[in-house]
């Protein structure tokens, strides 16, 4: 076991390559034709674009330009738009854009057109070509496309920052700076988008290097706090100024145990001041049905909450069935997050609760969960090159630096980034107040059912003007941690590999930890968690053994980002 003073390293800048989503473009083409047909003065696209119009009517006709294109151009000085032309006219239209300082982005031959970045001069040049050349110009802002796979093409959500309104805070200079997000996961690799913002950390695996060889933790870190430097800002995270404190509990095979989690939680609480940790992200869990009132993992997350850390936990990916929220997301104190599917748009009008998002109430205690929902489908996060997920799912790569995945893991990461923004705005707020603010700022969810989309969808747009969170959880019953470590595991079974070649393995069960020790629950729950107590603990003194899964797969039962397409 080695503590990591600072993770660093250089990753070359690589431009992200994006490819259009063919199926969506076919739909878009159909909608564009309908739009043209409904606009006054517009005509259907035929081999004779002007039908029976007179020469005078043709001369006076104008190119159809959508109103939102002109509005965006006036507001920002440039706009991404789809330019549709008549057959044989694409070359002249492309030249008009580039000659006037615009940029052609993608050829969209399926609709006889292209997407482009237009300047006012470029729009004027396109208009000057007239309707005999240019059929219509429509906005291309809400949807971004990425990646293709052998099985087809998929929508990707790289606009979750805008969906939750975090971009409004970014423009006001609020980016999470000074706030640390501890990520207990598979480690976090030092890639370009996290350069200079990985601080401290600990590796509780036999690998002892902090590197994310599985690929999940780096993805989560990118969603929460990636800078977007490798994509010119297109794929930045929610809090690009926050720093990340990586706590690694699983190696290349993704195998981990509740004992790793307990040690990790104790470490974060003990070193929170050392690394300015304000937010704790947990994108994993078990299917345990042990009551939160006695469970040791619930005790640990509550200890973190009461120590001043805002604990954000993924609900799980076992929906749409009820009672599928996993532990420790079943705890009443923490912020439990389910997932929405944006359908590839910035706006919420077409959002749905993702089918995989777990529903409440909780198994053992019948508590209402989740608390909120946030974007979690087709999310673009950071790639950890050469990791297990990267090697097994190459079709999910987005360019050289990013990856696409779905799961409540990433909804939690989006929320952790939002919490970092709130903590920068209001460093004096307690975890209860932050939770109250998120509830107060939430917008209606897609469904409006307490155990499906909680109290609403995450939104921080108006956080700057929000001054009275008004939430106090001091009266909620706390866990005493007296329950069983074995029961906390649920159905997850892990093999401890003492010496596999010699056949020395043991199935982790009962109170045995991944250090081949007997868990001392009394000591764990009565010791004050400080740096000194950490260095004096069994977690620090004893070596961690290599682990492997016995029956159940981490992909479906523990890490909540299991759909890499």
Distance CA 109, CA 395 (A): 24
Residue closest to 548 by CA, chosen among 488, 490, 489, 492: 492
Beta-carbon contacts of residue 312 (< 8 Å; ≥ 6 apart): 279, 280, 281, 282, 334, 335, 337, 412, 415, 416, 419
Distance CA 85, CA 554 (A): 50
Q: Within a 13 Å sphere around the CA of 475, how many CA atoms are in the beta-carbon half?
A: 2
- Burial (Cβ within 10 Å: 0-12, 13-18, ≥19) of residue 48: exposed
Distance CA 454, CA 373 (A): 7
Query: Could you tell me which residues are beta bridge partners of residue 373?
Result: 338, 457
- Catalytically active residues, by annotation: 185, 216, 409
Query: Could you tell me the CA-to-CA distances from 204 to 210, 259, 520 in Å, in that order?
Result: 9, 10, 18
Name the token pair of 198: 């990985």
What SS3 class is residue 193?
A: helix
| Look-up of token digits 């070649």 | 501
Residue 516 region by backbone torsions, left for phi larger than 0, else alpha for psi between -120 and 50, else beta: left
Distance CA 533, CA 526 (A): 11
């Amino acid at each position: 076991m080695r503590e990591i003073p600072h993770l660093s390293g250089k990753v070359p800048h690589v431009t992200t390559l994006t490819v259009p989503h063919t199926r969506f473009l076919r739909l878009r083409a159909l909608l564009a034709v309908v739009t043209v047909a409904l606009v006054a003065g517009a005509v259907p696209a035929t081999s004779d674009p002007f039908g029976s119009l007179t020469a005078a009517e043709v001369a006076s006709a104008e190119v159809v330009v959508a109103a939102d294109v002109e509005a965006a151009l006036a507001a920002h000085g440039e706009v991404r738009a789809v330019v549709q032309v008549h057959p044989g006219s694409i070359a002249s239209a492309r030249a008009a854009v580039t000659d006037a300082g615009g940029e052609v982005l993608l050829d969209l031959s399926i609709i006889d057109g292209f997407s482009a970045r237009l300047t006012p001069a470029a729009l004027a040049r396109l208009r000057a070509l007239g309707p005999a050349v240019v059929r219509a110009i429509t906005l291309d802002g809400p949807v971004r496309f990425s990646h293709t796979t052998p099985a087809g093409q998929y929508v990707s959500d790289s606009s979750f920052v805008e969906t939750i309104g975090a971009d409004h805070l970014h423009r006001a200079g609020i980016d999470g700076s000074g706030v640390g997000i501890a990520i207990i996961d598979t480690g976090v690799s030092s890639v370009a988008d996290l350069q200079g913002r990985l601080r401290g950390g600990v590796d509780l695996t036999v690998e002892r290097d902090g590197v994310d060889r599985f690929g999940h933790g780096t993805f989560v870190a990118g969603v929460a706090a990636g800078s977007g430097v490798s994509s010119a800002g297109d794929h930045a995270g929610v809090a690009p100024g926050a720093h990340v404190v990586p706590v690694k509990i699983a190696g290349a095979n993704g195998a981990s145990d509740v004992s790793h989690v307990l040690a990790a939680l104790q470490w974060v609480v003990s070193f929170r001041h050392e690394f300015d940790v304000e937010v704790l992200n947990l994108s994993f869990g078990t299917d345990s049905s042990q009551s939160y009132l006695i469970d040791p993992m619930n005790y640990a997350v509550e200890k973190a909450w009461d120590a001043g850390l805002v604990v954000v936990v993924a609900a799980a990916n076992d929906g749409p069935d009820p009672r599928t929220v996993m532990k420790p997301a079943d705890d009443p104190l923490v912020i439990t997050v389910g997932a929405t599917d944006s359908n590839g748009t910035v706006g919420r009008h077409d959002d749905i609760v993702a089918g995989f998002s777990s529903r409440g109430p909780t198994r053992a205690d019948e508590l209402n969960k989740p608390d909120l929902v946030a974007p979690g489908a087709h999310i673009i996060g950071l790639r950890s090159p050469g990791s297990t997920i990267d090697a097994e799912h190459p079709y999910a790569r987005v360019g050289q630096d990013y990856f696409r995945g779905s799961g409540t893991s990433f909804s939690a990461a989006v929320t952790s980034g939002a919490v970092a923004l709130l903590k920068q705005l209001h460093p004096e707020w307690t975890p209860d107040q932050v939770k109250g603010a998120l509830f107060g700022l939430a917008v209606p969810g897609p469904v409006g059912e307490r155990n499906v989309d909680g109290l609403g969808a995450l939104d921080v747009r108006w956080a700057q003007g929000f001054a009275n969170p008004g939430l106090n959880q001091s009266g909620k019953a706390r866990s005493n941690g007296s329950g069983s470590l074995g029961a906390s595991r649920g159905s997850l079974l892990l093999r401890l590999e003492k010496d596999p070649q010699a056949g020395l393995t043991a199935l982790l069960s009962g109170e045995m930890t991944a250090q081949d020790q007997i868990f001392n629950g009394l000591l764990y729950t009565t010791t004050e968690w400080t740096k000194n107590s950490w260095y004096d603990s069994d977690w620090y003194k004893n070596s961690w053994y290599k682990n492997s899964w016995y029956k159940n797969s981490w992909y479906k039962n523990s890490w909540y980002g299991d759909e890499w397409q």
